[in-house]
Amino acid sequence: MYHEGARYRVNKVNLAFDENTQELTEYSLKLCSSCGYGHMISSGPGPDTCGSCGTAIRPVDEIRSMVRLQNVTVKRADQITSDEEERQRVGYEIQTTYRFSEIAGSIDVRKAEVTLDDNLLATLRYGDAAQIWRINLGWRRRSNPHDHGFHLDVERGYWATNKEADDNDREDPQSKLVRKVVPYVEDHRNVMTVKFAEQHDVNVMASVQSALKQAIQQEYQLEPGELAAEPLPSKDDRQLLFFYESAEGGAGVLRQLVEDPSAMARVARAALAICHLDPETGEDRAAEEHIQCEAACYDCLLEYGNQPDHNFIDRSLIRQLLISLSQSRTVASSSGISRVDQLDEMMRLCDSGLERKWLQLVHDTHRAIPTHAQYLIASCNTRPDFFYHDKRTAIYIDGPVHDQDETAADDGLIESRLMAAGIMFIRFRHDEDWEAKLKEYPDIFGTGG
């Protein structure tokens, strides 16, 4: 992330021209004002509502005249050491937005709820290799914040200075040589959003963002710069925290935060310690440890990279939040609705007591609840009792009738059709140890506990 400053600073621009027409393609992006989800549009009006949360998208939420810059590879060592590049980055207003990848028309996202004594503290959403866009809206100190972008000499592929742009206008008012465009880069990254159940103000959000980022880095021994954290939809309106792994492929730590029931609690304990607070009691240890720190210092929550947030950051404001998180459990959930509603809905759809018993066990052992019940897979002529859509896995709960020869033969036929369609299936027999079987498939059901 740190190299973007330098990337924008070089005068010669690596623009992504259309391979066929050699034209510079301009895009628009509709940004959800509620969750910060991005909708990239190459033609037409684009969606009216957010594809992730359903919020209506207003005309003012659209960023226009965007041009894509080619990605440039920068060595990691340069990213960390170059203060100059950080300074450049801080000077720009960068809008980050993302889109979860899609598999067979449905969004590939893992969700989890962070709870304490049945109270929801936060909802986590994680995506492998989500598309992320980093959009440079312009200088942070520009006079009109709604005026986005930079002047680009399209013909020569140079960023034009304002003077050049003015000269150009004077010589030829019709000139299309210099255009005002909004440059962006596109990558695929592992991403995670954190939405707190309670709405917090900018001070709390900025502080907890820094605390969790540093604690994750420490807990998983990441290099500085391997993890990035930003507020979404914007710095002025912090609805949720957005984390992403800076390297393509990534170390996989964000995924663990969603899948490991105790990972968030461990991270929160580390965050308390980073804030000079006792991880058990929350007591302020700064004086005892001879640290001069009022709101925050460079030993706790301040970093060069979060300089624009320094006025907001105050470790004392997040003490209670971090203590709650440190005692929390994280439970995977496979759909957008809350786990309890999801369970009720599934229970209604079950058509045998045996199925309800299985579902209750999955819930009670804090495992992932299926996305569908009685789900028709027409191409295989089967309706499994449960289905995990994101994992393409069908679940059958077999009562005693499946022991009979004829039914067993039908089951075999269905299984071969499922295999041909690339759909995994797991059978739970009425007389076998279901918990042991659930444990065999942590990828499908989570680790539970």
Binding site for Zn ion (CB under 5 A): 32, 34-35, 37, 50, 52-53, 55, 293, 297, 299-300
Say how far apart CA 328 and CA 326 lie, in whole Å: 6
CB of 55 to Zn ion, least distance (A): 5
Residue type, 100: F
CB of 441 to Zn ion, least distance (A): 32
Could you give phi then psi for residue 212, rounded to 5 degrees? -70, -40
CB of 206 to Zn ion, least distance (A): 15
Q: In the complex with Zn ion, which residue's Cβ is closer, 97 or 342?
A: 97
Say how far apart CA 73 and CA 94 lie, in whole Å: 19
Tokens coding 329: 């459990």
274 CB-side CA count, 13 A: 28
Q: In the complex with Zn ion, which residue's Cβ is closer, 50 or 67?
A: 50
The reply to whether omega before 233 is within 30° of 0 (cis) is: yes
**Can you tell me whether residue 144 is helix, strand or coil?**
coil
Q: Which long-range contacts (CB under 8 A, 24 or more apart) does 404-408 make?
A: none
Q: In the complex with Zn ion, which residue's Cβ is closer, 53 or 202?
A: 53
CB of 192 to Zn ion, least distance (A): 16
Q: Which strand (E) or helix (H) includes residue 84?
A: helix 83-91
Q: In the complex with Zn ion, which residue's Cβ is closer, 116 or 297?
A: 297
CB of 418 to Zn ion, least distance (A): 35
Q: In the complex with Zn ion, which residue's Cβ is closer, 310 or 417?
A: 310
CB of 276 to Zn ion, least distance (A): 5
Q: In the complex with Zn ion, which residue's Cβ is closer, 45 or 173?
A: 45
Write down the residue that tokens 């992403």 correspond to: 244
Q: Is 238 left (phi over 0), alpha (psi -120 to 50) or beta?
A: beta
CB of 92 to Zn ion, least distance (A): 24
Q: In the complex with Zn ion, which residue's Cβ is closer, 67 or 204?
A: 204
* Residue pair 241/233 in contact by the 8 Å Cβ criterion: no
